Chain A
Amino acid sequence: MTIWRRNRSWLWPAFFIAPGIILFGIVIVGSSVQSLWISFFQWDGFDEMQWIGLGNYIEMLDDPQFYISLRNNIIWLAVFMLAPPLGLFFALLINQQIRGMRIVKSLFFMPLVMSQVAVGVVFTWFYDPSSGLLALFFEAMGATAPALLSDPRWVTLAVVFAALWPQVSFCVILFMAGLNNLDESQIEAARVDNARGWKMLWYVILPQLRQVNFIAIAVTVIGALRSFDMISVMTSGGPFGSSNVLAYQMYSQSIQAYRFGYGAAIASVLFAIMVVFISWYLWRMLRMEKEGA
């Protein structure tokens, strides 16, 4: 009893934190380490694992598909960077007090409510060159619609733009929450100080949205790097692997080609890229918290 009483100041917190730590340890840390371990083997998922050291990584360096996937990931990242500014733009637009704005606002929530798979399916139909909405549009203009999803030159961009839609509305919602939390009296002070339009936005509004802006960018970066579901639904990486990204290549190598070792190696590389961004994120987070204190 006395042992409990003497130590309860740390026993209680430990008791409540333990489930989270255990779960995180097994599901995230454990499987990451295991994945890294597997990447040093040749393994089809059933037979004996065969140690090949850095073999998988060396193979990756010579794999043209790896570079296509990497390049596509960079395209995803670049195009996705449109999401935060577009989100801010729409958030400012629909933040106006105009009658009927509520309906418009709820329209912006739509793509978030829908699952990514549904968004992918809808866009696949939209792009359909024979009967899709895009085809009808082109027909009306007297042109023939390009088959975006089967053209290696366009397919990645077509998928990214489909994925951009929910990402933008996610940013819209982040920024809308931020705009709702603006310090009203600061804006009033700025109005008295004669700040208007762009100056008001630049000097007074944006600095207050810094935290939100940072979260929007971080979430968008991570969203671009882990893109998977849209590719799976819309193209399965095709045609000829031209819309593949690292996450999807990892999946198709492991699950479809029974090459768990190689898949794990791709996963490890993707993880390494992510770590860079996540470290930057955490570092900024900690710095912000320090400034806030």
Chain B
Amino acid sequence: MSNLEISNISKCYEGREVLKNVGFKSSEKEFIVVVGPSGCGKSTLLKTIAGLTSVDAGRILIGEHDVTRSEPGDRDIAMVFQSYALYPHMTVAENMGFGLRMAGHPKQQIREAVEHAASILRITDYLDMRPKQLSGGQRQRVAIGRAITRSPAVFLFDEPLSNLDAALRTQMRVEIGQLYRRLDATMVYVTHDQVEAMTMATRIVLMNSGVIEQVGSPIELYTNPVNRFVAGFLGSPRMNFIEASVTEVNDDQIVVALEGLDDIRVARRHGVGVSRGDTVTLGIRPEEISVGRQRSHQLPARVELVEQLGREVIAYVDTGSIRAIESENGLGHLTIQVDRKSAMSRDDDIHIGFDAEDIYLFNADGMTMTPNRDTEKSPVHEVSEA
């Protein structure tokens, strides 16, 4: 049984298609994070699920009911807004109980529901205060409390943490994760922050300009991006992209040449069309590049900038011949991420290297040409339960 199913949703705003045939399905109790750059349509998608925006085409099912044309209040959903959207003239308790009150529940029942939600979120002490008297984090708790009180089938979060400062954001992220495990509901969480997406989601829906690029678990998307956009969007620092040309193709291998390097032989995804002479994009994650001479492909480089992050070091290196496209600093430098113990400083001459098996290849349309990898072997650690 699925409790949220969205199929082929389209939405036009003044002639501009902001959602094109968007669809995904959630089985019981999932934490779905919809992520994408600003303007990709993720907030519009959330509003169509909420019923605040009508759709031009498509169908939305919540708990087996077709709610495509229903009013927001009839959809068995609750929503947490970026701006909290609390009613300023009501107390915290009145804010949290408003939905039940509108639905005509008896006072006693409303009070119990409010108190229960308040105890989960540890805001019992604030119940008689007004939103104005609370801090940003407390307000966001109240907004979440208002959603919990109604015990809906689906929770919708619209960038709930983006108005909070960094420390509070991390804390709330963990709390929302705990809340999800505690409540028996599906959550749809919209954010532009890939860290939130990677850490919170059981499944990520990655959107770009009105279409879904890929759906899958965080580690799946990180390890096996279907295209260059997904590869570049997830991961920080982002993947290095280098232009290369194909020198040889056979049934299960592609050989690309980069100036100053041995031929790079990578496995070919089954059925992907590529021919000799094609210009392709080679992708390699910063953590797959290492300092030293132990990897299969090596080249000399000069360190241009070092960012010491404590746990790790991010360095931007100039290799002379090989230029990264869309690089982080716009200068064509490669980004590498190494252990914090590696002593490195500006203007050092070093050797960097990588293995051919860690390379991704994308064709001219951006589609991935290398086969899927085993997610277990990925260097990224599974998100630990908070």
Contacts and interface: CB of A to CB of B under 8 A. Distances in A.
A168 B287 CA distance: 69
A210 B102 CA distance: 21
B71 A196 contact: yes
A199 interface: yes
B52 interface: yes
Interface string B331-361: 0000000000000000000000000000000
Interface string B84-127: 01111100000000110011000000000000000000000000
Interface stretch (A75-83, A185-193, A213-221, A226-234): A185-193
A186 B85 contact: yes
A196 B86 CA distance: 17
B73 A195 contact: yes
B85 A203 contact: no
A191 B89 contact: no
A204 B98 CA distance: 11
B79 interface: yes
B87 A194 contact: no
Given A189-B85, A192-B77, A199 B102 contact: yes
B103 A185 contact: no
Contacts of A203: 87, 98, 102
Contacts of B73: 191-196
A191 B85 contact: no
A207 interface: yes
Q: Which of B50, B72, B146 has the most CB of A within 10 A?
A: B72
B81 interface: yes
Q: Report the contact-size class of chain B (Cβ under 8 Å from the partner).
A: 20 to 34
A192 B83 contact: no
A194 B79 contact: no
B71 A191 contact: yes
B188 interface: no
B173 to A, nearest CB: 21
A189 B89 contact: no
B102 A185 contact: no
Contacts of A193: 73, 98-99, 102, 146, 150
A195 B52 contact: no
B385 to A, nearest CB: 30
A59 interface: no
B85 A185 contact: yes
A183 interface: yes
Contacts of A194: 71-74, 99, 102-103
Contacts of B103: 194
A152 to B, nearest CB: 47
A200 to B, nearest CB: 9
A212 B367 CA distance: 57
A236 to B, nearest CB: 47
Contacts of A199: 102
A166 to B, nearest CB: 31
B201 interface: no
A185 B81 contact: yes
Nearest to B89: A207
Interface string B238-258: 000000000000000000000
B205 interface: no
Contacts of A183: 83, 85
B35 interface: no
Nearest to A292: B132
Interface in B20-63: 47, 50-52
Interface in A204-263: 204, 207, 210
Interface in B121-149: 146
A188 B85 contact: yes
A203 B73 CA distance: 15
A188 B82 CA distance: 12
Given A185-B81, A185-B83, A186-B85, A192 B52 contact: yes
B9 interface: no
B249 to A, nearest CB: 53
A195 B89 contact: no
Q: Which of A190, A194, A195, A196 has the most CB of B within 10 A?
A: A194
Contacts of B289: none
A189 B89 CA distance: 14
B78 interface: yes
A199 B104 CA distance: 12
B94 to A, nearest CB: 10
A49 to B, nearest CB: 55
Contact of B87 (A186, A188, A196): A186
Contacts of A188: 47, 50, 52, 72, 79, 81, 85
Interface in A155-187: 183, 185-186
A195 B72 CA distance: 10
Contacts of B150: 193
A190 B90 CA distance: 13
A190 B99 CA distance: 8
Contacts of B98: 190, 193, 195, 203
Nearest to A188: B52
Given A185-B81, A185-B83, A192 B89 contact: no
Interface of A: 183, 185-186, 188-196, 199, 203-204, 207, 210
11 contacts: A186-B85, A188-B72, A188-B81, A189-B86, A191-B51, A192-B72, A192-B73, A193-B99, A193-B102, A193-B150, A194-B73
> Across chains A and B, which 4 residue pairs bring their CB atoms closest together, nearest first?
A194-B73, A185-B85, A193-B99, A189-B85
